[in-house]
Structure formats: C-alpha cells, structure tokens
Amino acid sequence: MSQPNSPKWIPLLRWSAPILAAPLAGCNWVVMNPSGDIAVQQRDLILISTALMLLIVIPVMALVVFFAMRYRATNKSADADYDPDWDHSTKLELLIWSAPLLIIICLGALTWVSTHKLDPYRPLDRIDATTAIDPKVKPLTVEVVALDWKWLFIYPELGIATVNELALPTNVPVRFDITASTVMNSFYVPELAGQIYAMPGMKTQLHAVANKPVTGTGFSANYSGAGFTHMRFGYKAMDRAGFDAWVAKVKASSTQLDRNVYLALAKPSEKAPTAYFGATDPKLFDAVVNLCPKPGQRCMGELMHINMMGGAGKESARETEGLQYDFPDSHVIDQSDRNKGQETAPDAPGAPGPHHEPAIDLNPHSGADAHAQHR
C-alpha cells in the first residue's frame, strides 16, 4: 500500500534542521556541565523538574495533533464515532485532573527539599554524591567584595588577596562571605554554584565545593552601572599541589592590601587587570561590611550598638562627623574627586550652576561620573 504524500515543507524542515541548530554548537553549556557538587545538584533539579512537566506537556501536545487530524472536516471515517452532544466522562475527568495534581505534588515536594538542601547559607555535608564531609573539617573562607567594576577576593586564613582572580583547591569545602562597596551586584560562578547577591552594608554567604580541576569565568549577574559588561574574573579550581603553588605565587607579591590601597582600588574603573597582594589588613573586610574603611568614618556596628543601648542622647544630633557614607564623601570617592566628572551630582557642594561650563574630564568613567549615573 503506498504511503500518502507528505506536505512539501516536511522534507525542507528535515534537511534544514541541522543547519538551524548549528549556531547552538558554539554555546557554552556550563550550567548543564558543572564541576562543583552544588551546581550538579542544581542541574539535576532543573532536569528533574523539566521531565516532570514534560509528562503533561508532551501528551497534551500529542493529543492536540491527534484530535486535529482525527476529527478534521475531510476525515469522513470519523463521522461514526463523532458525538457533538457528549460533554462528560467521569473516567476522563479523573485522568485529566489527577495527573497534573500528582505532578504538582511531586514538584512541590522536590522544591521544598531542594530549597532547604541547597540553601546558600547551609554548610555543606558532602563533597560529592559518594563522599561525606567530616564535621570537624573547617571550610576555606574567601571574602568577596564587589567593587566598581571589579572583584576583590581576600583569603583571611592565608593572608593574601587578589583582584579579578579566584582560585580554589578541589574537594575542599569553601565558604564565601560576600559584600559590595557601593551598589548591589551578584556573585556567580556557573560551574561552581548558584548566584548570590552582594550588597553594601550587608554580608551574604555561599557554600560550595569544586570537584575537579577546571578553568572558567565568574561574573556579576546583576546590572550595576557603566562598567558592568567587563565585570568578570578568572576562576581556577586546582588540586592541592597546584593551589599551594598558586598561594606561594601570590604571597611572593610585595604589595600589601591596606586601607589606603583599598580606597584607591575601590574607585570605579573598567577592565581592571589581575592583581596579587602578598599581605592584607585582617580587619579590612569587616570595615567594608560596616561601611567604615575610610579613616574617620563610624562603623555601622558601632551605631547599631548605640541604638540598641537606647541612643547617645540629644547632644548626638549635632555629632555628624564620620556619618557621611554617600556621595561625595563616600568611602570610594574622595572629596577632591567629587567634581572631576562631566556629570556632577546636582546636590554636591561646588557643583556647576546653570551658567557654568561643566568640567572637562578625558576619562568617561571617572568616580563622580559613575556615581552620578548610579544615583
């Protein structure tokens, strides 16, 4: 028996499908091919959730095609079982409603368990699916500061710091303490773990582990200004010997990360090169979190303690020294830099009036200009 002729567009689609899919060959499927256990569990969650939803989507799409073909106007063979007055079937109603309900229950249970198990603040309990973590093992701490527009990584236990380069040993639990200098960013290494926000005046946490040596790229997943496009950093996961050699290379740097170096580093810049610091101020990260890395600023922790104790009295209303955290006397922009940009905040002291020509600055992303855009 001869087969009916297919529509003319079917062979065309069959032959053009590989060509249409060719651009996808250049895609980086790093989220679907992670190298860290947390990212692996997140990938599995995506796949399982998608599969559960397809249990409904695929049959529904198939039935749409079946009914359209079966009961089309030109199919006279279906006239015998066509009943336009039919409107109810208990068995069909049970099938239609029970299947989605069961899938929603499964998705809800899966989401509930995964939400708690993959909580970024939850310490890890395993290296991978077959290896548990000894509760006595202390995770490696990495302090992360999102700057404009670069990343600062401080290793407090090792006494070193880097700019735009993150290195981790494999099969070692890591705890990231994350904050930002001025505006909100989002710390994200796709092959390692999910993203977590970096916010000024706050500290967020992310626990992760790298399971195999890999070289990748981390970035900010939250728009934060003109230099956001280039706010990326190199990510390296190495075995213990490779990591120890990397630490030795960083410690060999003669540059020390103190408050003055941090204040210079925190000024907005784009495409910042990788930098190493062989020594660091052990209290710098806490000062950044408390918005007081600049000499003379009062820390948020101190002010909150005063408030908890009932305040400092009426006389404190006139004690404003050290309480200016925003433009132009912020911990990033020096007073001398406030009017160097072409766009100066209109409320900044010394800002040009309506009849003054704006100051000329050859750097389109100077500190004052960048923060004027943020405002």
Evaluate if residue 339 carries a pLDDT over 60: no
Q: How confident is the model at residue 75, as a pLDDT?
A: 80
Label residue 88 exposed, middle or buried (CB < 10 Å: 0-12, 13-18, 19+): exposed
Q: CA–CA separation, 34 vs 197, rounded Å? A: 20
Evaluate if residue 243 carries a pLDDT over 70: yes
Place of tokens 């999910």: 194
Q: How confident is the model at residue 285, as a pLDDT?
A: 94
SS3 194: coil
Give strand ranges (E) for 108-193: 126-128, 131-132, 140-147, 150-155, 160-163, 165-169, 174-180, 185-188
Q: How confident is the model at residue 236, as a pLDDT?
A: 94
Helices (H), the chain: 9-21, 37-70, 90-117, 240-251, 259-265, 284-289, 300-308, 367-374
Q: CA–CA separation, 297 vs 322, rounded Å? A: 4
Evaluate if residue 311 carries a pLDDT over 50: yes
Q: CA–CA separation, 32 vs 29, rounded Å? A: 5
Q: CA–CA separation, 240 vs 170, rounded Å? A: 7
Evaluate if residue 112 carries a pLDDT over 60: yes
Q: How many residues does the chain have?
A: 375
Task: Mention every residue, 6+ apart, whose C-beta is less than 8 A from residue 56.
Answer: 99, 100, 103
What is the mean predicted confidence (pLDDT) over 73-89? 75
Label residue 8 exposed, middle or buried (CB < 10 Å: 0-12, 13-18, 19+): exposed
Provide the pairing of β-strand 279-280 with 256-257: parallel
What is the mean predicted confidence (pLDDT) over 350-354? 38
The encoded tokens of residue 362 equal 């050859």
Nearest to 221 by CA among 213, 211, 232: 232
Residue type at 274 in one-letter notation: T
The encoded tokens of residue 124 equal 């890890």
Claim: this prediction has a pTM higher than 0.95: no
Task: State the DSSP code for 357.
Answer: P
**Phi and psi at residue 247, in whole multiples of 5°?**
-60, -45
The encoded tokens of residue 375 equal 């405002």
Evaluate if residue 16 carries a pLDDT over 80: no
Higher pLDDT, 249 or 360: 249
Weakest mean pLDDT among 47-51, 126-130, 134-138, 273-277: 134-138
Weakest mean pLDDT among 149-153, 238-242, 272-276, 360-364: 360-364
Work out the pLDDT band at 91, boundaries 50, 70, 90: confident
Place of tokens 């199919």: 75
Evaluate if residue 141 carries a pLDDT over 90: yes
SS3 335: helix
**ω into residue 328 within 30 of 0, thus cis?**
yes
Estimate the crossing angle of helix 37-70 against helix 90-117, to 10 degrees: 160
Task: Mention every residue, 6+ apart, whose C-beta is less than 8 A from residue 90.
Answer: none
What is the mean predicted confidence (pLDDT) over 71-97? 78
The answer to whether the beta carbons of residues 116 and 149 sit under 8 Å apart is no
**Phi and psi at residue 347, in whole multiples of 5°?**
-95, 5
Higher pLDDT, 345 or 79: 79
The answer to whether the beta carbons of residues 236 and 167 sit under 8 Å apart is yes
